[in-house]
């Protein structure tokens, strides 16, 4: 059983940094968050938490209060076992609600299918902004020198479907019957379709992380295609309303 709790000690923060390094293999001296910053966040009563399987640390999350009254989850990492990420998010939700906050925000790579499915289809968060190359170019083992486009997601903690999630009820995004594919995966490469329909589907590659290692040119093509299509639609005022079939963003004109 996974137990999540706040962290306060330097030794605990060191374990979180060790876990992050196991996940991302960052270059020496370039961690996603520093030990000193975690100490400062925890002392200032921001969010620093760990997920434990017995005595083993299997997840860690660091966040801070945002100016608009939300908890911004800066980085969350979990060991490759089922359910850790969900337990961390449910703990975040409880922590935020106890402090009078009604939203948690975070950024994620729009090209990673499993993250999009978890954030949108499972948690019910909704992207608010498309942020091109938000963190610059990163050289960790996962990003492989790719530009760091991000979706800025907002999770409404008191929305009915989120409250259902807290009760462990399943949540799914239906595929609109009249949706048109605006970006498809054809033979592993991105192919743009129509972008003028009321409801659109924006597809993703099956495994962008593998493409970064084996076909960096194709990975770059996907990065720019998703930026142009999904980012372009959001810039026009379209809303991302879900992620379906573990493959497609659902985008609607409003």
The residue count for the chain: 254
Side by side, the strands of the sheet bearing 56-65 are 2-6, 47-53, 56-65, 71-78, 103-108, 150-156, 126-131
Contact 216, 229 (CB under 8 A): no
Q: In this predicted structure, what is the pLDDT of residue 215?
A: 94
Q: In this predicted structure, what is the pLDDT of residue 142?
A: 54
DSSP category for residue 57: E
DSSP category for residue 147: B
pLDDT class of 80 with cuts at 50, 70, 90: confident
* Sequence ranges of the domains in the chain: 2-166, 180-252
Paired tokens of 74: 């800066």
> For the segment 105-115, what is each residue's pLDDT rounded down to a tens digit?
999 999 999 99
DSSP category for residue 26: P
Can you give 155-221 as a three-state secondary structure string? EECCCHHHHHHHCCCCCCCCCCCCCEEEEEEECCEEEECCCCCCEEEEECCCCHHHHHHHCHHHHHH
**Pick among 3.30.1360.170, 3.40.630.30, 3.40.50.720, 3.40.50.620: CATH of 2-166:** 3.40.630.30
- Say how far apart CA 200 and CA 183 lie, in whole Å: 9
Specify the 3-state DSSP secondary structure of 8. coil
> CB-hemisphere CA count at 13 Å for 174?
3
Q: Which residues contact 20 (CB under 8 A, 6 or more apart)?
A: 26, 31, 32, 33, 60, 75, 77
- Say how far apart CA 38 and CA 16 lie, in whole Å: 10
Statement: residue 141 has pLDDT above 90: no
> For the segment 38-56, what is each residue's pLDDT rounded down to a tens digit?
999 999 999 999 999 999 9
Of 237, 19, 243, nearest in space to 111 by CA: 243
pLDDT class of 145 with cuts at 50, 70, 90: low
Statement: residue 148 has pLDDT above 60: yes
**Which residues share a beta bridge with 14?**
none
Q: For residue 42, with 0-12 CB atoms within 10 Å meaning exposed, 13-18 middle and 19 or more buried, which class applies? A: buried
Q: In this predicted structure, what is the pLDDT of residue 174?
A: 80
- Mean pLDDT, rounded, for 56-67: 97
Statement: residue 140 has pLDDT above 60: no
């Amino acid at each position: 059983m996974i137990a999540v709790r706040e962290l306060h000690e330097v030794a605990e923060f060191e374990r979180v940094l060790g876990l992050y390094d196991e996940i991302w293999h960052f270059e020496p001296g370039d961690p996603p968050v520093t030990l000193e910053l975690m100490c400062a966040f925890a002392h200032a009563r921001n969010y620093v938490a760990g997920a434990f399987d017995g005595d083993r640390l299997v997840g860690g999350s660091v966040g801070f209060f945002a100016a608009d009254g939300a908890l911004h989850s800066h980085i969350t990492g979990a060991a490759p076992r089922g359910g850790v990420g969900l337990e961390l998010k449910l703990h975040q939700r409880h922590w935020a609600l106890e402090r009078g906050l009604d939203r948690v925000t975070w950024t994620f790579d729009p090209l990673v299918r499993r993250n999009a499915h978890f954030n949108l289809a499972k948690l019910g968060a909704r992207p608010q902004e498309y942020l091109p190359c938000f963190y610059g170019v990163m050289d960790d083992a996962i990003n492989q020198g790719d530009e760091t486009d991000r979706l800025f997601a907002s999770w409404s903690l008191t929305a009915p479907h989120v409250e259902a999630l807290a009760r462990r009820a399943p949540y799914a995004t239906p595929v609109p019957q009249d949706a048109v594919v605006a970006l498809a995966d054809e033979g592993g490469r991105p192919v743009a379709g129509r972008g003028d329909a009321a409801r659109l589907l924006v597809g993703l590659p099956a495994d962008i992380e593998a493409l970064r290692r084996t076909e960096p040119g194709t990975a770059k093509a996907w990065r720019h295609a998703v930026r142009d299509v999904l980012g372009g639609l959001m810039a026009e005022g379209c809303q991302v309303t879900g992620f379906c079939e573990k493959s497609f963003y659902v985008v609607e004109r409003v």
